[in-house]
């Protein structure tokens, strides 16, 4: 058994394996597949609760992942944000001296979540410019119906 505490390096190595098989496109195909087949919980919460569904989803995952973060929900404005002060996943990968993270490891978050939320009428913005320090930020806004 690969423990869930060892999953992140397994995930990163899977991206490397797929990249060796078919380049960036093969990795993207997998991210799309995972988004379509593994994020049903996020989709259901966003469908049922709107922007609060994002708060509910990440309240669960980020606490279980022991992340260092600030989340903010402004339901009146239909906005939700995550400021990741230190990502536990990328942080672990950077700490491992004997394996190198997949170069675009953090790209999966943007692809996976955007693919679920944009079709539901959410605007998604990501800042991945500081992932080399395990920092990132995501902003989501529910676009009001016309």
Binding site for other proteins (CB under 8 A): 1-11, 13-14, 17, 21, 29-30, 33-34, 37-38, 55, 59, 61-76, 86, 88, 96, 98-99
Count the helix, strand and coil residues of the chain and give each as a percent rounded to the nearest 5.
60, 20, 25
Asked whether the beta carbons of 114 and 46 are under 8 A apart, the reply is no
Please state the closest distance from residue 80 (CB atom) to other proteins, in A: 9
Q: Which is nearer to other proteins, 84 or 117 (CB)?
A: 84
- Comparing CA positions, the residue from 135, 128, 90 lying closest to residue 110 is 128
Q: Which is nearer to other proteins, 55 or 122 (CB)?
A: 55
Q: Which is nearer to other proteins, 4 or 143 (CB)?
A: 4
Please state the closest distance from residue 93 (CB atom) to other proteins, in A: 11
Asked whether the beta carbons of 9 and 92 are under 8 A apart, the reply is yes
Q: Which is nearer to other proteins, 8 or 116 (CB)?
A: 8
Question: What would the DSSP string read from start to end of 67-112?
Answer: -EEEEEEETTTTEEEEEEEE-HHHHHHHH-SSSPPPTTTTHHHHHH
Please state the closest distance from residue 127 (CB atom) to other proteins, in A: 18
């Amino acid at each position: 058994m690969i423990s869930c505490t060892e999953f992140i390096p397994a995930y990163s190595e899977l991206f490397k394996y797929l990249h060796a098989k078919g380049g960036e496109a093969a990795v993207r195909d997998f991210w799309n597949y995972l988004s379509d087949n593994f994020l049903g919980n996020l989709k259901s919460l966003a469908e049922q609760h709107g922007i609060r569904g994002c708060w509910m989803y990440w309240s669960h995952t980020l606490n279980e992942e022991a992340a260092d973060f600030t989340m903010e929900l402004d339901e009146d404005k239909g906005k939700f944000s995550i400021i990741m002060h230190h990502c536990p996943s990328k942080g672990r990968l950077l700490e491992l001296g004997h394996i190198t993270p997949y170069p675009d490891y953090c790209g999966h978050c943007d692809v996976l979540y955007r693919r679920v939320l944009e079709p539901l009428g959410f605007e998604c913005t990501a800042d991945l410019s500081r992932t080399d320090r395990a920092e990132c930020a995501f902003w989501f806004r529910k676009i009001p119906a016309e």
